[in-house]
């Protein structure tokens, strides 16, 4: 890059960073954001700057050497990201420029190559932030420690980011060279087909038989991940993963050149494409801007105009309109990708059940369904944000409606609650049907199912109420009109949110447990295994009562909410 262009582009990056810092400092004048920032700083400092860093004994608990299964899992997670990008990526993505970048940089006297350099270097910087998040999440307790993991995570995230960019530019280039229709799709599918083919080859040629018992699953997967074709299929991501999971310096140095080489090759690949990205970037930027405008919190895309779940009558309580609106959103915001991920365990379970009813397959299917139902109660609440968290961007509309705060709060929260509950019930019933007798004995099946069908939604409701209360009390953590929190405040925010959610949900569930557990124990001698269901019913009624009071509080919080602050 020429000197003046380089200085201009570094000025943008530096000014952006400086102004973000200033804004962060201004936010910290409010105690709640100051608290989050301090917590985040404390966590990061504790993670990286404590004495004896890198030592295997600095944590109270034992540090772990990552098992081959963990390494394989990470490699194939990254490889699946690549695979999805090729399968679902559009042909006209271009480079992702912001609207401001397009307005100022495109008419500026900068060459295409300089613009690409700028975007690629920025993506490497952004990868640093993502790698920090990964390190905070999972890298802490590995034997190599946070520094190794952070380096590997950065190499991995940067490689994935450059791969997605280069793949997008390559597809665009194919379009611009007149390669259309089936041939282009075939070329775009070559990479995923090669990956899937290598995996299938590894499975078919494996000398080890398909596992027929739980204990055989892990060894089988370890051998499969060692197969040459499977190793080759994961080669884009593997070096970075090995750097991240290296347990000492020599091992890190063994993998570092390969990981850096893969990253450099990707950089050159992205730089060498001849795609005229400007028009595609402009269109992509406009699409992204529109998408962000309405759906900042959900990070989802409106998919067509699927029919609303039911017709809305003009008669009846007005708050029902909000419930209907959010259920319609639920139908339309469910992306193809999410659907596939959600359906995968159900399909696997069905395949298991149909393939002769082998106990292992049925058991795996049941466990997957149970895990999905359980995780939806915890993670579903975080991810499925079709309530105040999505609607705060339209706060002016909400406040102009002739609704009491408590009615609005009830309508907002009940929509995601309905969707998550229905999903949980489907997975629980599927799990109960699939579960072999050694997993859940026959006479206990129905009571356990009934108990789970009450307890999980009760837990979900507690989580949703807490999340919505946080949205109303800490709007800047949800509302992204002035930009979402980043950096250490974001880490602190997640800590506060996670701990706060867990504490609030635990406190809410204590009275339920105090009623439900003794009820189940007392009735066990009378009604047998059905006591589980009776206990769950008693606990759920307590949660419902608590939720009633919580909705009154949420309504008051909404009525007092000042969008001007």
Partner 1 sequence: MEEAVLDVRGLAKCYGAFTAVHDLSFQVAPGEVLGLVGPNGAGKTSTLRCLGGILPPTRGTIHVAGHDLARSPVAAKQQLAFLPDEPRLFDYLTVREHLNLVARLFGVADWEPRADALLAELELDGKAGVLPGELSRGMKQKLTIACGFLHDPRLVLLDEPLTGLDPLGIRKMKRSLQARAEAGTAIVLSSHLLPLVEELCHRVLVIVHGRVVALGTLAEIRAQLGGEAGSLEDLFLRITADAGAGAA
Residues in contact with partner 1 by CB under 8 A are 290-291, 293-295, 302, 305, 308, 312-316, 318, 320-322, 324-325, 328-329, 332-333, 393-397, 399-404, 559-560, 562-565
In the complex with partner 1, which residue's Cβ is closer, 185 or 291? 291
* DSSP letter (8 states) at residue 137: I
In the complex with partner 1, which residue's Cβ is closer, 242 or 385? 385
DSSP states of 96-136:
---HHHHHHHTTSS--HHHHHHHHHHHHHHHHHHHHHHHII
In the complex with partner 1, which residue's Cβ is closer, 211 or 308? 308
Min dist CB 106 to partner 1, Å, is 22
Min dist CB 252 to partner 1, Å, is 46
In the complex with partner 1, which residue's Cβ is closer, 12 or 282? 282
Min dist CB 471 to partner 1, Å, is 17
DSSP states of 16-66:
HHHHHHHHHHHHTTSHHHHHHHHHHHHHHHHHHSSTTTT-TTSSSSPPBPP
Q: Determine the Cα–Cα distance for residues 483 and 22; give it in Å rounded to an integer.
A: 13
β-pair partners for 64: 142
In the complex with partner 1, which residue's Cβ is closer, 234 or 475? 475
Closest CA to 155 of 30, 241, 280: 241
CA distances from 144 to 46, 63, 460, 515 (A): 16, 9, 37, 47
> Given phi > 0 = left and psi -120 to 50 = alpha, else beta, which region is 312?
beta
Q: What is the CA radius of gyration of the chain?
A: 26
Min dist CB 393 to partner 1, Å, is 7
CA distances from 102 to 173, 223, 451 (A): 20, 50, 56
In the complex with partner 1, which residue's Cβ is closer, 174 or 398? 398
Q: How many CB atoms lie within 10 A of CB 299?
A: 12
Residues whose CB is less than 8 angstroms from the CB of residue 416 and which lie 6 or more positions away in sequence, other chains included:
326, 330, 381, 384, 385, 386, 387, 464
Min dist CB 148 to partner 1, Å, is 43
Min dist CB 22 to partner 1, Å, is 18
Min dist CB 337 to partner 1, Å, is 17
From first CA to last CA, the distance across the chain in angstroms is: 44
Q: Determine the Cα–Cα distance for residues 352 and 435; give it in Å rounded to an integer.
A: 11
Structure-token pair, residue 271: 């730089």
Min dist CB 301 to partner 1, Å, is 9
Min dist CB 31 to partner 1, Å, is 14
Q: Determine the Cα–Cα distance for residues 189 and 196; give it in Å rounded to an integer.
A: 10
Min dist CB 312 to partner 1, Å, is 5
Min dist CB 21 to partner 1, Å, is 22
Min dist CB 564 to partner 1, Å, is 5
In the complex with partner 1, which residue's Cβ is closer, 295 or 517? 295
* Whether 415 contacts 402, CB under 8 Å: no
β-pair partners for 142: 64
Measured in whole angstroms, how far is the alpha carbon of residue 110 from the centre of its chain? 37
In the complex with partner 1, which residue's Cβ is closer, 231 or 418? 418
In the complex with partner 1, which residue's Cβ is closer, 314 or 356? 314
Q: How many CB atoms lie within 10 A of CB 557?
A: 17
CA distances from 366 to 24, 133, 210, 369, 374 (A): 47, 32, 19, 5, 12
DSSP states of 301-362:
---TTPPPSSPPPSSS-THHHHHHHHHHHHHHH--HHHHHHHHHHHHHHHHHHHTTT-HHHH
In the complex with partner 1, which residue's Cβ is closer, 68 or 298? 298
In the complex with partner 1, which residue's Cβ is closer, 141 or 325? 325
Residues whose CB is less than 8 angstroms from the CB of residue 498 and which lie 6 or more positions away in sequence, other chains included:
none
In the complex with partner 1, which residue's Cβ is closer, 96 or 295? 295
Structure-token pair, residue 315: 């008669």
In the complex with partner 1, which residue's Cβ is closer, 322 or 504? 322
Min dist CB 561 to partner 1, Å, is 9
């Amino acid at each position: 890059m020429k000197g003046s262009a380089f200085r201009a582009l570094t000025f943008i990056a530096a000014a952006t960073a400086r102004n973000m810092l200033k804004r962060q400092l201004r936010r910290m004048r409010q105690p709640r954001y100051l608290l989050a920032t301090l917590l985040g700083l404390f966590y990061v400092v504790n993670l990286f700057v404590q004495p004896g860093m890198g030592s295997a004994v600095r944590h109270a608990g034992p540090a772990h050497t990552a098992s081959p299964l963990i390494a394989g899992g990470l490699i194939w997670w990254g490889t699946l990201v690549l695979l999805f990008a090729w399968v679902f990526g559009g042909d006209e993505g271009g480079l992702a420029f912001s609207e401001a970048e397009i307005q100022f940089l495109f008419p500026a006297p900068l060459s295409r190559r300089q613009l690409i350099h700028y975007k690629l270097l920025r993506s490497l910087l952004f990868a640093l932030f993502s790698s920090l998040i990964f390190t905070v999440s999972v890298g802490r307790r590995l034997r190599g420690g946070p520094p190794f993991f952070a380096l590997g995570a950065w190499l991995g995230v940067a490689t994935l980011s450059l791969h997605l960019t280069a793949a997008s530019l390559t597809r665009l280039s194919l379009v611009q060279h007149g390669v259309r229709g089936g041939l282009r799709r075939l070329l775009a599918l070559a990479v995923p087909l090669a990956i899937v083919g290598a995996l299938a080859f590894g499975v078919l040629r494996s000398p080890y038989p398909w596992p027929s018992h739980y204990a055989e699953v892990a060894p089988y997967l370890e051998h499969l991940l060692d197969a040459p074709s499977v190793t080759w299929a994961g080669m884009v991501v593997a070096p970075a993963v090995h750097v991240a999971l290296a347990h000492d310096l020599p091992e890190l140095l063994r993998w570092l050149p390969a990981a850096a080489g893969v990253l450099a090759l990707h950089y050159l690949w992205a730089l060498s494409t001849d795609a005229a990205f400007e028009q595609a970037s402009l269109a992509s930027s406009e699409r992204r801007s529109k998408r962000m405008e309405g759906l900042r919190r959900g990070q989802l895309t409106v998919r067509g105009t699927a029919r609303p779940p039911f017709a809305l009558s003009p008669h009846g309580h007005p708050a029902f309109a909000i419930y209907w609106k959010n259920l319609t959103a639920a139908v339309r915001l469910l992306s193809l990708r999410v659907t596939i991920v959600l359906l995968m365990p159900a399909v696997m379970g069905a395949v298991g059940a149909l393939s002769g009813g082998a106990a292992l397959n049925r058991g795996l299917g049941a466990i997957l369904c149970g895990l999905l139902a359980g995780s939806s109660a915890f993670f579903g609440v975080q991810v499925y944000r079709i309530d105040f968290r999505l609607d705060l961007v339209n706060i002016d509309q909400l406040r102009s409606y002739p609704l009491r705060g408590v009615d609005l709060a009830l309508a907002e929260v009940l929509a995601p609650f309905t969707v998550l509950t229905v999903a949980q019930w489907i997975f629980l019933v599927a799990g109960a049907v699939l579960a072999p007798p050694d997993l859940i004995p026959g006479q206990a099946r129905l009571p356990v199912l009934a108990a789970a069908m009450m307890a999980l939604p009760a837990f979900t409701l507690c989580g949703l109420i807490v999340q919505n209360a946080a949205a109303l009390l800490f709007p800047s953590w949800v509302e992204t009109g002035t930009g979402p929190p980043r950096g250490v405040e974001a880490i602190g925010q997640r800590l506060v949110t996670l701990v706060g959610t867990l504490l609030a949900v635990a406190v809410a569930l204590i009275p339920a447990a105090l009623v439900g557990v003794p009820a189940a124990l007392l009735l066990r001698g009378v009604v047998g295994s059905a006591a589980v269901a009776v206990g769950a019913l008693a606990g759920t009624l307590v949660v419902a009562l608590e939720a009633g009071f919580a909705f009154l509080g949420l309504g008051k919080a909404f009525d007092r909410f000042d969008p001007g602050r």
